Amino acid sequence: MIDIYWGDTANYLDTMHQSGKPVIGLDRDGVINKDKGSIKDPSDLEPIEGSLEAITKLKKMGYTVVILSNQSGISKGIMTPDDVDSVNQRLFRMLGEAGCNFIDGLYYSTSSNKKDYYAKPNVGMFERCEKENPNIRFKNGYFVGDKLTDLKAAINVGARPILVRSGHGRETEKLLDRHTYKKIKQKTTVYETLADFVFKIT
């Protein structure tokens, strides 16, 4: 797992201490970029329409933004941490080109195993982020995802679960109609895309 920041340090610290706005956690695949399975080639990273601009808007309005993503292809031997880092670096370059000078962190797990404390829906990534960044607290913030594991992770950490219909979102929305997930559905707000969510809260 890694934590990445880039940009002007003074501006970063000012944002962290003065924002006063809820933390917004984001899944990566299916929320920011199109989910093509385990992406190991940076050239395969394809942003979902409006997602980069949405993140840029959040940062310019003073929100704390952290990406937290399961990258289970590592544990399956499909890709390496270096592959994931290369893809993330391309994402950062794209964000920079969209006008976003920095985000507040990026963490990823190397599996999606339920026993992996750092894999969603477990809260290890969130807790590590809070430990390493004392001004970040996910409780009463938002977490945006497209899978049931994202919604469960949001609830487990005390954040408000946001489901987007991009990626696997439409499939997840259908799952929420099952009685088993009734309580999750009651807590979840659904938007078409990340851009739609950001438009609503800003």
To the question of domain 9-201 being in CATH 3.40.50.1000, the answer is yes
| CB 62, CB 21: distance < 8 Å | yes
Task: List the structure tokens of 39.
Answer: 């992406």
Residue type, 155: I
Instruction: Exactly one of 3, 8, 14, 27 is catalytic; name it.
Output: 27
> For this structure, is 27 an active site residue?
yes
Q: Which of 171, 191, 152, 168 is nearest to 34 (CA)?
A: 168
**Phi and psi torsions of 65, nearest 5°:** -125, 125
* 90 phi/psi in degrees, rounded to 5: -65, -40
**pLDDT tens-digit readout, 15-65:** 444 458 999 999 999 999 999 999 999 999 999 999 999 999 999 999 999
Per-residue model confidence (pLDDT) at position 19 = 58
Confidence class of residue 3 from pLDDT cuts 50, 70 and 90?
Answer: very low
**Any idea what DSSP says for residue 62?**
T
The residue extents of the domains of the chain are 9-201
Is the separation of the CB atoms in 164 and 197 below 8 Å? yes
**Using alpha carbons only, how large is the chain's radius of gyration in Å?**
16
Q: Is 33 helix (H, G, I), strand (E, B) or coil?
A: strand
Task: Read off the pLDDT of residues 115-138 as tens digits, 9 standing for 90 and up.
Answer: 999 999 999 999 999 999 999 999
What is the pTM for the complete model shown?
0.91
Instruction: For residue 29, indicate whether it is catalytic.
Output: yes
Exactly one of 3, 8, 14, 29 is catalytic; which is it? 29
